[in-house]
Structure 1
């Protein structure tokens, strides 16, 4: 299976990267941009695999079956480094380590490749650490940065990268992928792809996790019961609880596994008393897990608000007489009734309130509940 088959609905991008992997227009720095779920990191990984593919025919690189392709896709290739953060930002020390590593010559592959999946999660001073390495890389080094949009990366970095712009794939393509790769029921796959608004990762979770489907259904129904300030406060609590519960579900099992693995590495069983000399290592793990938990809640809350936004998007489509298919088709009658009781201007103001809250939560230290309460009050 070719590495390019993972890029659903991205034919122009696949063609661009195929040509570059064959040596046509290959440059030392690339910037992959596109909305969440478009497959930025998947495209970068496929490109990295094609560049270090062991096939002699340059036009066939990215075979997906050679050792080079398989190890890159498994993220075990010695010359390809993947950088993603589960904290709020990538630190300046982590950036310096990247720069140092990028200067090494490739040991087994054709190229030393650094893939930064969260390039938008770097402060300006952190990004400046990468600037010289990206501006004047070593001869066999290629940088691949991923971000939602070019504006999320400093212009000094952006101007030195070749752009790769991805779009959200069609709903039908995402559904077909879920059926083919995950063995999902076709109807469930189509509903999940539509509910996820073509975000492949979210769609896959909705297919496999009934609880996630229930949480999303509860979110998009919230505006139907909103008419008073007390209901707004209750809605805010429900939104934050939905996001917190979802984040906790994804973190609890992982935290326990990491703690058990650390204890095993230290030669201890989970019931052993922790010696004073080893407490610092356990404390560091706990601090990392707390930072990850904070980001998980933020990301989950952002996704919950995105689901809420889809309700108002559907309302606006009906109010404007649009022919675009609704995201929440199962609520078509309720949404039509809701749309008849307001105007497009009111709906746009509500959508703006949701988007403003998303921005506050992801870019400031505002208390999530207070931000969502303020938003909920403006949705009445």
Structure 2
């Protein structure tokens, strides 16, 4: 790998823009050094600034799998890159220097990355992070805050962040990642203060090339890329993990099961159970490591004088951690279930496309025979109602409806739509 930006698949326009901005940032950093790090940001308003210049707040948007968080992390590495000179066309984000390596590994002292594990990002976390990031950098050029899934910011957290974006410290850069610029994903005011970097879904060829580069068989890489919906991480998992392929088949099988009352609700229950088990398996590994680390930090297992009472008064800390772990487990279950629902909606969509023989690429090309049968079984209008039922289920999960109730309601709606 010759550059951190090599991790971005099919996003050359974004790479060019971020590389140019990172080179511009070298000059901005030098100017701040000459001014002895003045209190005011030298970037000014982000909106009218040229696209190839540096600014203090950025918003990366794109659908899941487009690489928005990868783009933000690569940009953070490029801003801290030790060999960057700022000369036009010069290398930036080399991927070889200590700064690039530590940013990409998540261990750089001046880059704080917030990855929400629960349902929301709290105002307390934002305030604590921003307070630290408002100081002068310790080892790099900038203090950088990278917030993944910024659409999970609570209203209070968004307001706390807005204050910093409106009056940024001279050495602080804010990088936000969200699905879109829709007000439901990011507040209008916060979005208006950020430079917007939209990412698109990479093509099948680009994804397959990456997987082959990872050592995956070319035929399997091509298949995984074609059914991943443009999601590089999903494609990699489908190509390497049998359980991921099994979960996908289970989700797609729900379309047939929903047509028969004797199988519909059993299939729905099995889908929810699979998501629950997957979330538990992932959480178990994370929880065990976190719990052991916390207990060690609080003095468990120590020897010597006073070691016996080291854990007294720590029950509150452990309970807080258990609540956070439970919230993460809930989020994981919903994420796994949502992925299954996206696959199912895409299958009904493919059936609609097949009904009209439209020259549009299928989302599940390996299930073309099934979609042709679906197109022969139900009219396009009925299939569209099935798509709407799946999307309504996703919305219900998003507002905390219990998965069993949401999926059962979806199955009932699909069955009703197909009977009409």
Name the TM-score class by shorter chain: over 0.9
Work out whether 1:210 is the aligned partner of 2:246: no
- Counterpart-to-counterpart distance in 2, 1:331 and 1:61: 44
* Separation in 2, partners of 1:368, 1:273: 43
Q: Is the 8 A contact 1:63 1:69 kept in 2?
A: yes
Q: Is the Cα–Cα contact under 8 Å of residues 251 and 293 in structure 1 kept in the other structure?
A: yes
- Give the match for residue 228 of structure 1: 260
**Residue 190 of structure 2 corresponds to residue 157 of structure 1:** yes
1:198 aligned to which of 217, 222, 230: 230
Q: Distance in 2 between matches of 1:251 and 1:205?
A: 18
Does the CA-based 8 Å contact 2:354-2:375 persist in structure 1? yes
Report deviation, 1:195: 2.3
1:135-156: CA deviation from partner (whole Å, max 9, x where unpaired): 1101111111000001111000
- For residues 98 and 293 of structure 1, do their structure 2 counterparts lie closer, same or farther at Cα, with a shift above 3 Å needed? same
Distance 1:317 1:276 in 2: 64
Answer whether contact 2:254 2:264 (CA < 8 A) is retained.
no
Aligned partner of residue 58 in structure 2, secondary structure: strand
CA–CA separation in structure 2 for the residues paired with 1:4 and 1:343: 46
Structure 2 counterparts to residues 177-326 of structure 1, below 5 A: 177-180=210-213, 182-268=214-300, 275-326=311-362
The equivalent residue for 1:22 is 23
2:211 maps to 1:175:
no
Q: Which has the larger Rg?
A: 2
SS of 1:146's partner is strand
What is the SS of the residue equivalent to 1:277?
A: coil
* 2:14 alignment counterpart: 13
- 1:50 deviates by 0.7
* Structure 1 segment 361-372 matched on structure 2, within 5 A: 361-362=397-398, 364-372=399-407
SS at match of 2:174: strand
Structure 1 residue 122, shift from structure 2 partner: 1.0
Q: Give the SS at the match of 1:89.
A: coil
Separation (CA, whole Å) in 2 of partners of 1:367 and 1:287: 18
Residue in structure 1 matched with residue 118 of structure 2 by the alignment: 87
* Map of 2:155 onto structure 1: 124
Q: Distance in 1 between matches of 2:209 and 2:83?
A: 29
Contact 1:28–1:141 (CA under 8 A) maintained in structure 2: yes
CA distance in 1, matches of 2:269, 2:367: 23
Q: Quickly say closer, same or farther: Cα 1:246–1:273, change in 2 above 3 A.
A: farther
**C-alpha displacement of 1:235:** 2.8
What does residue 334 of structure 1 align with?
370
Aligned to 1:63: 94
Aligned to 1:144, the other structure's residue is in SS state strand
8 Å Cα contact 2:299/2:310 also seen in 1:
no
Q: CA RMSD in A?
A: 1.9
CA contact (8 A) 2:115 2:149 kept: yes
Q: CA deviation at 1:273?
A: 11
Counterpart CA distance in 1 for 2:367 and 2:112 is: 44
Judged with a 3 Å threshold, the aligned counterparts in structure 2 of structure 1 residues 243 and 86 are, in CA distance, closer, same or farther, namely same
Cα distance in structure 2, aligned partners of 1:158 and 1:356:
27
Unpaired runs of 5+ residues, structure 1, are none
Deviations 1:66-122 (A, max 9, x none): 111111111111111111110000011111112212311112211111111121001
- CA deviation vs aligned residue, 1:262-289 (integer Å, no higher than 9, x gap): 33444545xx999543333332222221
Q: 1:142 to 1:51 in 2, by over 3 A?
A: same
Contact 1:87 1:291 in 2 (8 A): yes
Give me the TM-score of the superposition, normalised by structure 1. 0.94
Range moving further from structure 2, 327-336 or 90-99 = 327-336
Runs of 4+ residues deviating >4 angstroms: 272-276
Measured against aligned partners, the alpha-carbon deviations of 1:31-87 in whole angstroms (never above 9, x if no partner) come to 000000100110001111111111143231111111111111111111111111100
Residues 220, 310 of structure 1: 8 Å contact kept: no
C-alpha contact (below 8 Å) 1:3/1:46 kept by paired residues: yes
Contact 2:80 2:141 in 1 (8 A): yes
Query: In structure 2, what is the Cα distance between the partners aligned to 1:226 and 1:76?
Result: 48
25-34 or 94-103, larger mean C-alpha shift:
94-103
Residues 65, 331 of structure 1: CA spacing in aligned structure 2 closer, same or farther, 3 A cutoff?
same
Moved more, 216-225 or 26-35: 216-225
